[in-house]
A and B are shown apart, each in its own frame.
Chain A
Amino acid sequence: MNPVLSISDLRARLRGPDPHAFVIDGLSLQVGRGEVVALVGESGSGKTMTAYSVLRLLPSAIQLVGGEILLGGQDVVGMEARQLREVRGTLASIIFQEPMTSLNPLMTIERQIAEMLLTHGKTTRQTAPARVIELLELVRMPDARTRARQYPHSLSGGLRQRAMIALALACEPQILIADEPTTALDVTIQQQVMKLLLDLRDQLGMAILLITHDLGVVAEVADRVAVMYAGRIVEEGPVVDLLEAPRHPYTAGLLACLPDVAEAGGRLVEIPGLPPKPGSIREGCRFAPRCPSATDLCTRVSPETRIEAGRAIACHHPRMPA
């Protein structure tokens, strides 16, 4: 089966004097149709920039410099502006982390959703309002008719995120990229929104790339997990397998910080030390300064990604399978 999203050897760097300031550094990742893949990693590891790259939404300070992104088989990296606009929202769409700022404060919810439908010719001016209500009801927006005519500021964070989800699903994309969709919300609301996303996946059958901090959620919802560190995927595999027997020292470190992986809401606590700034480590493994298993080899040679028994690992000294 063709993957809906296939990223290979992606590189993006900060514009500026340092040619080695890579924010994404040779990242490869695939998401199959209808699959839920979780992308986890500490803050600053490049998860958001990876998500932005998929639709070429990188901020002006960051530049794609190499690699390939296939979205539904089409190459996004070399795509022309017009075609890119057609792909945005129809093949893939994004839900952002911060629902308070990701909607235009001066437009009603209805206009913001209708605008997208109209842009892609999914509705007419006459039928747009009804279709918007339908979408808002799909994401279980209470009192959808009234809410549609309101401005974002009169909605709570949870309702805004529902509106964002309705927007993202409006043109029935094949993959939904959710960048920490619940991080900014209250704990009870977090669970509702996450459940909504999964129900919608079952109902509509789209794939989800779920970027998250919440390893508890990962265990519950994802099919596969990719662990990201300093712009790279360091370990990737089926969720149960990987969480039960992590082989990369970084993954193990993340899991060791959890009181109980199986317990929902277990949060990612940071490993001693900080992730490196883009460009600060040029040789060897990026994790070496914080790694308990680091050797001389690790500081000299960057580890290649190897695939063993359905698990991808980038480490010279992976832990032995249990």
Chain B
Amino acid sequence: MNRNAYDLIRFVLRRLLQSLPVLLGIATINFLFVNLAPGDAADVLAGEAGAASPEFMAALRERYGLDEPLHVQFLVYMGKLLTFDLGYSFRFSRPVTELLLGNLGPTLLLMTTAILFACSMGVFLGVLAARCVNRWPDYLISVGALIAYATPVFWLGLMMIVLFSVKLGWLPSSGMQSIGAGYTGWRKVLDVAQHLIMPATVLGMYLTAFQVRLMRASMLEIGEQDFVTTARSKGLSEQAIAYRHVLRNAILPMVTMVGLQVSAILGGSVLIETVFAWPGLGRLAYNAVFQRDLNLLLGLLFLCSIMVVVTNILTEVVYRLIDPRIPLK
């Protein structure tokens, strides 16, 4: 046990260390974005501040070190990154880091819920479909997954708002909490959960469809393997075979898929958070793009790359916890 925990921590640390070059690479690209675009950051800043006299520009350049040679600027930029100083957002009049951290929580909540929803539905429906293969529950689930797969996400979001908020009045249509209600404790948790249902469902819909189909195929494939015949020859019930032997093996591709799809989910959250006015990174990104808030956008990019890297390490850890064949190395 202790030995395993120790291995696990070492593995995570090593993988984090290995991802540093990737993150530095992304930071470098970010830096080049700013500096290779026509004009320099002072032009952008001046434009954002709404004033552009030559004296003001010169003052800005000096204040932000923009008159220094490029490599010096690069080192300064990297130094700031290491202390998570991502510059200032003039649109929001707040430091970028503060903005990002304020919006990170809601996005993490939304994404985690969507991914957990997708995976649990994937297991539940995928296993059901595989166990009833070529009978009506299977057809129903497969067709359902196909439809969910092909439905445009924004349309689904709007339709759900029309149905559940406008027509039925069951669920709130926007935001993360009821404004001014001042709920605390469990009442607050319930309130957030109610706000969470629709955006998380819509965000997870595509991944759910994907996971259901993957799980079904994976269950059927594993079900044909030799060790399943062994399990059957031992006198186990079909139930025990499906859940104890097939399911655990069949779940592995699903774990890999979460790692691969996390960037798609991040992208999807821009849309979903905008539709549902969810106060997260996605909506921040939407604003940053439309208001040309360059510092904020670059900060978002950097944070997202960290999130993707971390999720990939997490899925690797989960994979290795399930599969003893791949050592924690």
A contact set with B: CB distance below 8 Å = 52, 55, 57, 59, 81, 85-90, 93-94, 96, 98, 101-107, 115-116, 119-120, 151, 153, 164, 167, 171
Q: Which of B233, B236, B238, B248 is the one whose CB lies under 8 Å from A115? A: B236
Chain A residues lying within 8 Å of B240, measured Cβ to Cβ, are: 115, 119
B38 at the A interface (CB under 8 A): no
Chain B residues lying within 8 Å of A171, measured Cβ to Cβ, are: 235
Give, as a whole number of angstroms, the nearest-CB distance from B260 to chain A: 22
CB pair B324 A115 closer than 8 Å: no
CB pair B322 A106 closer than 8 Å: yes
CB pair B324 A57 closer than 8 Å: no
* Number of chain B residues close to chain A: CB under 8 A: 23
CB pair B235 A98 closer than 8 Å: no
In the bound complex, how far is the Cα of B249 from the Cα of A104, in angstroms?
9
CB pair A151 B235 closer than 8 Å: no
CB pair B229 A57 closer than 8 Å: yes
CB pair B235 A87 closer than 8 Å: yes
CB pair A119 B226 closer than 8 Å: no
B55 at the A interface (CB under 8 A): no
CB pair B237 A85 closer than 8 Å: yes
Q: Which of B233, B237, B245 is the one whose CB lies under 8 Å from A104? A: B245
Contact with A along B191-235 (1 / 0, CB 8 A): 000000000000000000000000000000000111101111111
CB pair B233 A55 closer than 8 Å: yes
In the bound complex, how far is the Cα of B231 from the Cα of A102, in angstroms?
9
B98 at the A interface (CB under 8 A): no
The secondary structure that dominates the B interface is: helix
A119/B234 contact (C-beta < 8 A), A96-B229, A102-B226 known: yes
Chain A residues lying within 8 Å of B224, measured Cβ to Cβ, are: 59
Q: Which of B232, B236, B244, B249 is the one whose CB lies under 8 Å from A105? A: B249
Chain B residues lying within 8 Å of A151, measured Cβ to Cβ, are: 324-325
CB pair A101 B237 closer than 8 Å: no
Beyond known contacts A52-B229, A88-B232: 7 more, CB 8 A cutoff:
A81-B238, A85-B235, A105-B325, A116-B236, A119-B234, A119-B240, A167-B230
The secondary structure that dominates the A interface is: loop
B68 at the A interface (CB under 8 A): no
CB pair A104 B227 closer than 8 Å: yes
CB pair B322 A167 closer than 8 Å: no
In the bound complex, how far is the Cα of B234 from the Cα of A120, in angstroms?
9
In the bound complex, how far is the Cα of B226 from the Cα of A101, in angstroms?
6
In the bound complex, how far is the Cα of B229 from the Cα of A52, in angstroms?
9
